[in-house]
């Protein structure tokens, strides 16, 4: 057999496999947990909490050791996951307030719209945090645009975060339990309502709020932002996990006879960490450990539902986190002295909101029994931003040339297939509104924030940057920028190029970009 024949045969096999994958149309459940660090679950080394259900995913699937949220805070990670576009390319995609207008406009290609067009029933349950409406959100009527205008058939969401008002659920276009006689008002700009507020020393609080959590008190917990009205619609913090889990299970049950995509974005373990009473005291790490157990229970309920409905073998489940773990809680719930022993991010430097590995390297597990090798691990470099292109490849969906400018197809990695070369040559990481880090092979270049904010001056390739070799220094203890100035200069130029050209994915047509 000639080499040309071998190449043609390999190409035919690859093409056939892609066709077969597209015909299978597995159910897809993407579980995006909140603030779970690299060291927060058992299969990644946690010993002070127990996560048997998440560990089951790793035992029956593939555990990634070099997977990254493309930002170290929530909103930009979710934006990148949904659109396949680095969030720093669009102004205003930092941490969104609870009354933010929609950050993703209708007509934008999203993971949900792509899969809906491919024949999937699509649903989102849990934390949204990507804005709603066209201007400052009005929660007293139909709330749109929102998830339903971005490709989801069903939505049951927390508008922003558990510590931000409004503290209500939105189902499709309406606030759940809304009473028109008690209209909802929300403000992040001025104080509204009669109080008491979180900064009142006489206020009766379940847990004391820290910096920023000094505004309206809802359910005995002070929040970010002010809210009045909507009394009948207010959630009970202890019941959020139960509510979200129930809605997720019902979505699976309602769509058991068709291919479905469920984006399950848990509130756990974001602040305020208020576990249901049945989970309190189940860990030795305070309420933070208890809500990790609560999160694991949610995962277990989803897996049990798949087992019961005999859907497990035809369902791809992905579990990950929106950013690294927070080292200190801003609520005084007694957790801080206890979680040091837990080491939320393992040996990694940094934490949530940090550009160091602890801010964005996260657990990432793919599980599809019979299709993905069980109990294996992968060191392939991947990012959440790759989800759109990868799911398109899995389902046979076509990505328009002007969509998903930064999403790479890493399906071979997700499925545990061996490749001759890395699927990603680089990955840009961010903390705030500017790109601050470039991962390239074993090297991590960090552009210091101060330098990022004065781009009008020539760069100082020693003092403006940090450089780490992650293959020998995963804890990022030794800055090699001074010794590797040529590499710093080359990587800085690559970072600048990615920033300026508007895309990083091959095949993207920048000239026709409308988003």
Q: Where do the domains of the chain lie?
A: 24-174+247-414, 434-512
Q: How many CB atoms lie under 10 A from the CB of residue 396?
A: 16
Q: Measured in Å, how far apart are the chain's first and last C-alpha atoms? A: 48
Nearest to 344 by CA among 46, 127, 4: 46
Fold annotation for 434-512: Arylsulfatase, C-terminal domain (3.30.1120)
Paired strand residues for 440: 443
> Rounded CA gap, 129 and 101, in Å?
10
Nearest to 44 by CA among 324, 346, 323, 379: 346
Nearest to 107 by CA among 138, 83, 126: 83
Q: How long, in residues, is the chain?
A: 515
Residue 9: the pLDDT is 45
H or E stretch covering 246: helix 240-254
pLDDT digits (tens, 9 = 90+) for 485-514: 999 999 999 999 999 999 999 889 876 644
For residue 90, the SS3 value is coil
Q: Is the dihedral of CA 179, 183, 189, 190 positive or negative?
A: negative
The CATH code that applies to domain 24-174+247-414 is 3.40.720.10
Nearest to 479 by CA among 496, 459, 463: 463
Residue 421, both tokens = 């070369």
Nearest to 37 by CA among 380, 385, 445, 357: 357
Residue 56, both tokens = 């089951």
- Please list the pLDDT of the chain residue by residue as tens digits (515 residues): 454 444 444 444 444 444 444 467 999 999 999 999 999 999 999 999 999 999 999 999 999 999 999 999 999 999 999 999 999 999 999 999 999 999 999 999 999 999 999 999 999 999 999 999 998 899 999 999 999 999 999 999 999 999 999 999 999 999 999 999 999 999 999 999 998 999 998 899 999 888 889 999 999 999 999 999 999 999 999 999 999 999 999 999 999 999 999 999 999 999 999 999 999 999 989 999 999 999 999 999 999 999 999 999 999 999 999 999 998 888 987 776 666 678 999 999 999 999 999 999 999 999 999 999 999 999 999 999 999 999 999 999 999 999 999 999 999 999 999 999 999 999 999 997 777 899 999 999 999 875 555 555 666 777 899 999 999 999 999 999 999 999 999 999 999 999 999 999 988 987 664 44
> Rounded CA gap, 264 and 275, in Å?
19
pTM for the full model? 0.94
> Rounded CA gap, 486 and 154, in Å?
51
Beta strands in 202-299 (DSSP E): 217-218, 221-222, 226-228, 260-265
pLDDT digits (tens, 9 = 90+) for 343-372: 999 999 999 999 999 999 999 999 999 999
- Beta pairing class for 67-68 and 382-383: parallel
Nearest to 380 by CA among 342, 406, 414, 428: 414
Q: How many CB atoms lie under 10 A from the CB of residue 79?
A: 27
pLDDT digits (tens, 9 = 90+) for 407-417: 999 999 999 99
DSSP category for residue 214: -
Q: What is the DSSP string of 241-310?
A: HHHHHHHHHHHHHHTTTS-EEEEEE--TTSSS----GGGTTSSSSHHHHHHHHHHHHHHHHHHHHHHHTT
> Rounded CA gap, 40 and 42, in Å?
7
Burial of 183 (0-12, 13-18, 19+ CB in 10 A): middle
Residue 6: the pLDDT is 40
């Amino acid at each position: 057999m000639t080499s040309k024949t071998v190449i043609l045969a390999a190409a035919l096999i690859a093409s056939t496999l892609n066709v077969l994958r597209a015909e299978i149309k597995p159910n897809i459940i993407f579980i995006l947990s909140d603030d779970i660090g690299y060291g927060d679950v058992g299969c990644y080394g946690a010993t002070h909490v127990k996560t048997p259900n998440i560990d089951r995913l790793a035992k029956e699937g593939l555990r990634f050791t070099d997977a990254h949220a493309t930002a170290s805070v929530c909103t930009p990670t979710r934006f990148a996951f949904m659109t396949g576009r680095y969030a720093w390319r669009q102004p205003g995609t930092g941490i969104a307030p609870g009354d933010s207008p929609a950050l993703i406009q209708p007509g934008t290609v999203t993971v949900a719209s792509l899969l809906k067009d491919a024949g999937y029933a699509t649903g989102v349950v849990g934390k949204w945090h990507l804005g709603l409406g066209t201007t400052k959100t009005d929660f007293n009527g139909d709330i749109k645009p929102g998830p339903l205008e971005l490709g989801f058939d069903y939505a049951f969401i927390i508008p922003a975060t558990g510590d931000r008002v409004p503290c209500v659920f939105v189902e499709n276009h309406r606030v759940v339990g809304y009473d028109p006689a008690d209209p909802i008002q929300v403000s992040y700009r001025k104080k509204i309502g009669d109080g008491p507020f979180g900064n009142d020393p006489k206020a009766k609080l379940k847990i004391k709020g820290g910096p920023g959590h000094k505004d309206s008190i809802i359910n005995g917990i002070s929040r970010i932002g002010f809210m009045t009205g909507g009394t009948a619609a207010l959630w009970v913090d202890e019941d959020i996990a139960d509510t979200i889990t129930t809605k997720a299970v019902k979505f699976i049950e309602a769509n058991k006879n068709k291919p479905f995509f469920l984006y399950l974005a848990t509130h756990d373990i974001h602040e305020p960490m208020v576990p249901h009473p049945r989970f309190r005291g189940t860990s030795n790490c305070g309420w933070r450990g208890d809500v990790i157990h609560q999160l694991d229970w949610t995962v277990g309920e989803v897996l049990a539902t798949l087992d019961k409905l005999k859907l497990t073998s035809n369902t791809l489940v992905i579990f990950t986190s929106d950013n690294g773990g927070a080292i200190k809680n801003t609520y005084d719930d007694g957790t801080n002295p206890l979680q040091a022993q837990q080491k939320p991010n393992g040996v990694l430097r940094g934490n949530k909101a940090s550009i160091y590995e602890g801010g964005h390297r996260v657990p990432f597990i793919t599980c599809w029994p019979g299709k993905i090798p069980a109990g294996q691990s992968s060191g392939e470099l991947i990012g959440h931003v790759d989800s759109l292109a990868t799911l398109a490849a899995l389902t046979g969906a076509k990505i328009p040339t002007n969509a998903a400018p930064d999403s790479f197809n890493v399906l071979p990695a997700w499925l545990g297939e061996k490749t001759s070369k890395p699927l990603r040559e680089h990955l840009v990481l961010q903390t705030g509104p500017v790109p601050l880090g470039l991962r390239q092979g074993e090297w991590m270049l960090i552009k210091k924030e101060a330098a990022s904010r004065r781009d009008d001056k020539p760069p100082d390739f020693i003092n403006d940057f940090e450089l780490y070799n992650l293959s020998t220094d995963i804890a990022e203890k030794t800055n090699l920028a001074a010794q590797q100035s040529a590499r710093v200069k080359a990587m800085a130029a690559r970072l600048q190029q990615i920033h300026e050209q508007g895309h990083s994915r091959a095949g993207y047509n920048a000239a026709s970009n409308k988003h």
